[in-house]
């Protein structure tokens, strides 16, 4: 049976109707909300109609299982508190369409809480063993609701965790959530790797003092230290980074944050992302050297918080090659290889099996917003690439 792009688009619009909100094609469907659970129950019905066996696990991950060994495809169907209609949903509905049209055994998954109401890609993190269930249960959302209470709302649907060894690989199609493909007029991105992340808090401790009576040369001003650190870091990174490397000081706590006080302390987040483990390490060395230098010059005490992070994940060469072949056949000259700067469920699933990812363009690079959208012709091109790739794979 051939893929049916009309049925694919209809199901995508139907999924959007659960939690449809805002102007354009906005969606409010956070994990475990009434809209999310209703959407998952509808998805389970669609999976059953496709000949798959629906299976909810103890945290609300929904699988549509093919019999025997199969290739797993999918993404997530929860949304940000204000999200778009394609983030996650595209990968789930595309997987469903491939499963019901392909003669290959394809299973479908919609992971729960990818958008991190409780953790980070919570559902796939737990399933893959990256996050222990009892640890997850103690996590709380922004309003103080615990994860165990939230997942209890789906307890009547729950069976056990699915044995991952029944799957021979995982493919996740997702919107790019960045500007590259749209700006270049391209239809498809074949992901090379999902970038790694490092994140740590840094503190400069100086001397809090009176902003009127303290002469400039006697100040140990924590804000000045941060400003100097930032400028020097940007300069030094230039020799090390690629155009894909990113770094962010996203949170700054300046103490006491008052206009007539020389700030004595600044604690800030330092986050950096890249696809190369070596580059992540080199950047860490530059961060530490620069911070130490500034601390010495400015007479600051320097403190570091614990280093958090995830390693970069390379896509499986065989599945990736099949996707590239599909992209070349469906969109010749209008596709590229590219890293994923955003985290995805595939990062977790890579602990269990070979994974690969495919991107479709995000119009104006917008996502996590009601305005998120992709041209229908590009959505269909992505579906066709998946179909082509699945036909080439010999993982079954
Ligand atoms: Zn997503």
166-190 tens-digit pLDDT: 999 999 999 999 999 999 999 999 9
More confidently predicted of 334 and 81: 334
Which pLDDT belongs to residue 394?
81
365-385 pLDDT, tens digit per residue, is 998 899 999 999 999 999 999
Residue 25, pLDDT above cutoff 80: yes
In this predicted structure, which of 3-12, 112-121, 304-313 has the lowest mean pLDDT? 304-313
Cα(171) to centroid(ligand 1), Å: 14
Q: How far is the CA of 86 from the centre of ligand 1 (A)?
A: 8
Q: Tell me the percentage of the chain whose pLDDT exceeds 90.
A: 93
The whole-number average pLDDT for the span 346-369 is 95
Distances (CA, A) of 69 to 56, 168, 299, 315: 19, 7, 63, 21
Between the CA of 176 and the centroid of ligand 1 the distance, in Å, is 9
Provide the whole-model pTM. 0.86
pLDDT digits (tens, 9 = 90+) for 198-245: 999 999 999 999 999 999 999 999 999 999 999 999 999 999 999 989
- What is the whole-number distance in angstroms between the Cα of residue 84 and the centre of ligand 1? 10
Q: Tell me the CA–centroid distance for residue 172 and ligand 1, in Å.
A: 10
**Alpha carbon of 76 to ligand 1 centroid (Å):** 7
Query: What's the CA-to-centroid distance between 121 and ligand 1, angstroms?
Result: 9
* 165 or 142, higher pLDDT: 165
Residue 142 pLDDT > 90: no
d(CA 237, CA 287): 9
Ligand 1 centroid, distance to 36 Cα (angstroms) = 14
CA of 91 to the centre of ligand 1 (A): 9
pLDDT at 396: 67
CA–CA distance, 244 with 274 (Å, rounded to integer): 7
Ligand 1 center from residue 224 Cα (angstroms): 38
pLDDT score of 23: 75
Residues with CB under 5 A from ligand 1 (ion): 87-88
36-56: burial string, b at 16+ Cβ within 10 Å, e else: bbebbebbbebbeebebebbb
Query: pLDDT tens digit string along 38-60?
Result: 999 999 999 999 999 999 999 99
| Distance in Å, CA 274 to ligand 1 centroid | 19
Tell me how far the alpha carbon of residue 56 lies from the centroid of ligand 1, in angstroms: 20
Instruction: Please tell me the distance from the alpha carbon of residue 291 to that of residue 222, in angstroms, as a whole number.
Output: 12
For ligand 1, the distance from its centroid to the CA atom of residue 197, given in whole angstroms, is 17
What pLDDT, on the 0 to 100 scale, is given for residue 307?
86
For helices 376-392 and 317-330, the axis angle rounded to 10 degrees is: 130
- How far does the centroid of ligand 1 lie from the alpha carbon of residue 113, in Å? 10
């Amino acid at each position: 049976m051939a893929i049916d792009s009309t049925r694919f688009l209809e199901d995508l619009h139907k999924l959007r109707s659960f939690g449809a909100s805002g102007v354009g094609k906005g969606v409010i469907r956070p994990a475990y909300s009434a809209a999310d659970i209703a959407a998952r129950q509808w998805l389970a019905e669609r999976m059953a109609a496709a000949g798959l066996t629906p299976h909810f696990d103890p945290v609300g991950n929904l699988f549509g299982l093919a019999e025997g060994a199969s290739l797993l495809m999918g993404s997530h169907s929860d949304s940000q508190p204000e999200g778009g209609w394609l983030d996650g949903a595209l990968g789930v509905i595309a997987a469903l369409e491939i499963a019901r049209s392909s003669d290959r055994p394809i299973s479908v998954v919609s992971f729960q809480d990818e958008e991190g109401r409780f953790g980070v890609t919570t559902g796939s993190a737990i399933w893959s063993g990256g996050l222990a269930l009892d640890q997850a249960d103690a996590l709380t959302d922004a309003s103080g609701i615990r994860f165990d209470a939230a997942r209890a709302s789906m307890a009547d649907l729950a069976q056990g965790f699915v044995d991952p060894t029944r799957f021979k690989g995982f493919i996740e199609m997702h919107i790019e959530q960045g500007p590259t493909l749209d700006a270049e007029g391209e239809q498809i991105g074949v992901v090379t790797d999902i970038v790694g992340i490092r994140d740590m808090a840094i503190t400069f401790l100086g001397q809090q003092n009176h902003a009127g009576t303290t002469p400039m040369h006697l100040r140990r001003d924590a804000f000045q230290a941060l400003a100097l650190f930032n400028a020097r870091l940007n300069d030094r990174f230039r020799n090390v980074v690629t155009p894909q490397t990113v770094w962010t000081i996203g949170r700054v706590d300046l103490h006491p944050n008052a206009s007539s006080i020389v700030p004595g302390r600044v604690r800030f987040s330092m986050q950096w992302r890249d696809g190369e483990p070596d580059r992540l390490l080199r950047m860490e060395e530059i961060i530490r050297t620069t911070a130490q230098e500034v601390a010495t010059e400015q007479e600051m005490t320097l403190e570091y918080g614990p280093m958090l992070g995830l390693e970069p994940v390379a896509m499986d060469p065989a599945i990736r090659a099949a996707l590239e072949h599909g992209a070349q056949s469906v969109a010749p000259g209008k596709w590229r290889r590219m890293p994923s700067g955003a985290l995805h469920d595939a990062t977790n699933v890579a602990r269990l099996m070979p994974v690969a990812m495919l991107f479709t363009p995000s119009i104006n690079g917008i996502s996590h917003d009601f305005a998120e959208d992709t041209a229908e012709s590009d959505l269909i091109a992505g579906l066709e690439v998946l179909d082509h790739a699945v036909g080439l794979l010999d993982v079954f």
